[in-house]
Amino acid sequence: MNLLSLLFSPIKEFWKKGDVILLGLCLAASTFGLALIHSATQYQLDAGQTVSRSVIIQAIAICLGVVTYILLTFVDFQLFTEKRWKLMLLGSILLLFMLLTPWGVERYGNRNWIQIPHFPMMLQPNEIVKIPFILLLALLIIRIQDRGYSISSIPSVMQIAGFTVFMLGLIAAICHDMGTCAVYIMIFAFMAWTAGVKLRWFVLVGGGMVAAVVIFWLFFLPETSLWTNFRIMRFRVVLDHSLDPSGMGFQQERSILAIGSGKLFGQGYLKGIQTQASNSSALPVRDSDLIFAVCGEELGLVGCMALLLLLSAIVLRCIWVGRHASSPFSAYVCMGMAGMLLSQITFNVGMCLYVLPVMGLTLPFVSSGGSSIITLFAAMGIVSSVKARPMPSWLRDRSQV
């Protein structure tokens, strides 16, 4: 009996203090994704097989993610970050540099994965590092504020922007992944806005970035690069869909065709023409980048709206927890997590709808990827830990005076 009590005591404690609603939403979204992955990988099955290896790995990752979520609920991340911020920063840098070792794997021009020998799944350092990045940025913001400085002052903005640029520079130089860099920028924007950075900074920096890109495009980019650089072509095909439909626009052409053919209720689960095809006209990267197109083709507009509502509920739950957090640090962390999810959802769905360029970003909780799903559950476990530490009643009363 004592052993059973020891095993079930953390679960009972989690049920009382943890964010069970957020866990339920994450499980619902990941189960939805698991069903879509199963359909998207049917073409890979050999005779006698019922499920693909991707489905098995994803299911195991979801189970590990739930355990991680529950365990992290009991961690005080503000105290941990304050005590171990140097270790977190060093660990993040070393993890990214591991991509330059022989274990680093390059796909589609991005070096994002680590394949450890005899390990069943590949790791994505740039996904994992998002969590310490959010925690460290939140710590930097509160330390600036605790010293009495305005977060919108030039030195303050330079500090938080400098840390962000440092991490972006590492990812750009090592991974060559502009999509992930865009997510980090959105995380920074969400957290900076929540902390009170004035609108003029966003206008100034955003306008400066646009102007720099235009000047570089018009005056410094060789004409040959303008037409041949694949990253630039990804943007150009969005503006002109007829420019390269069988090349850089191929993925999005197939995606928008699949979504459009699904109409209101879809062609039926496991019955999508492009999803189940195995020839050259099949939907590419259908279990990861373009899994939203699988949903559109087989489940139609109704299925897509249900999926987006579910993912939106997770984002809104993070924001709700942040608004009721016991400290500014916790609020900034929750907003950073919400920004991470919202940006990935927006970029992925926009890519599938052919209104944004291909960025190689997966749909959170839905696309296949063992390390990605565990990282997402870990991130939401941190939000749950914020929920588990409500503001004390005496402090809440004083805050309302």
Tell me what the mean pLDDT of segment 248-256 comes to: 89
Q: What is the mean pLDDT of the chain?
A: 86
Query: What is the largest distance, in Å, between two alpha-carbon atoms of the chain?
Result: 76
List the one residue out of 132, 174, 165, 175 whose CA is nearest residue 340. Answer: 132
What is the model's pLDDT at position 15?
Answer: 81
Q: Which of 98, 168, 182 is nearest to 137 (CA)?
A: 168
Please give the residue that has the higher pLDDT: either 49 or 147.
147
105 phi and psi, to 5 degrees?
-120, 130
**Count of CA atoms in the C-beta half-sphere (13 A) of 70:** 17
194: closest CA among 81, 387, 376, 338? 338
pLDDT in the model for residue 400: 41
Ordered by start, the domain boundaries in the chain are 19-43+51-389
* H helical segments located in 176-285: 178-195, 199-215, 223-228, 230-239, 250-262, 273-276
Residue 395 has pLDDT above 70, yes or no: no
pLDDT 10s digits, 105-159: 877 667 788 888 877 777 888 889 999 999 999 999 999 999 988 898 999 999 9
Contact 150, 141 (CB under 8 A): no
Query: Looking at residue 168, what is its pLDDT?
Result: 87
